[in-house]
Amino acid sequence: MPHSSTPDQSGSLTVLVYSDDRTIREQVRLAIGRRPAPDLPEVELLECATQAQVLHELEVGGVAACVLDGEAVPAGGMGVCRQAKDEIYDCPPVLVLIGRPQDAWLATWSRADAAVPHPIDPVELDETLATLLRDFARRPAVTA
């Protein structure tokens, strides 16, 4: 069953969070909270620890946005992003967590829609994710 890329009956959106490190996933979960901005519906976080799991969940569909850890191993979030943008029809917007601000060019290479540096700044993460979710909500519906 697809996840919710548009508000479901409960009014929530699904945001996929990928990192091999559960402490990073927890930091993202705590930073986002129940909703990244007051004008957006609540979000449900779908946590993934492997590249295969990310690609499977994106194939299932219904993900409104992704937050990928660029420092994950063995598959970094930037490589996962590039693969998803190449292989997933109508890939949702992707925010990549980068190791340093100087790594922004790598996020551009990966075709990420946005990048936020480590350590995670909850305000910056929420503002950036909220922008991606608003942009996603304005996209016309695509049928396969």
Write down the pLDDT at residue 97.
97
Give the pLDDT of residue 115: 96
Are the C-beta atoms of residues 140 and 43 closer than 8 Å to each other?
no
- For the chain, domains (ranges, CATH) are 13-138 (3.40.50.2300)
SS percent in the chain: helix, strand, coil, step 5: 40, 20, 40
The pLDDT score that the predictor gives to residue 51 is 98
Considering only CA atoms, give the Rg of the chain.
14
Residue 2: predicted pLDDT: 52
Q: Which residues of the chain have pLDDT under 50?
A: 1, 3-5, 8-9
**Which tokens sit at 54?**
């990310």
Structure tokens at 18: 């990928």
- pTM passes above 0.85: yes
Q: What angle do CA 90, 93, 99 make, to 5 degrees?
A: 135
- Tens digits of residue pLDDT in 60-88: 999 999 999 999 999 999 999 999 999 99
Please say whether the beta carbons of 115 and 23 come within 8 A: no
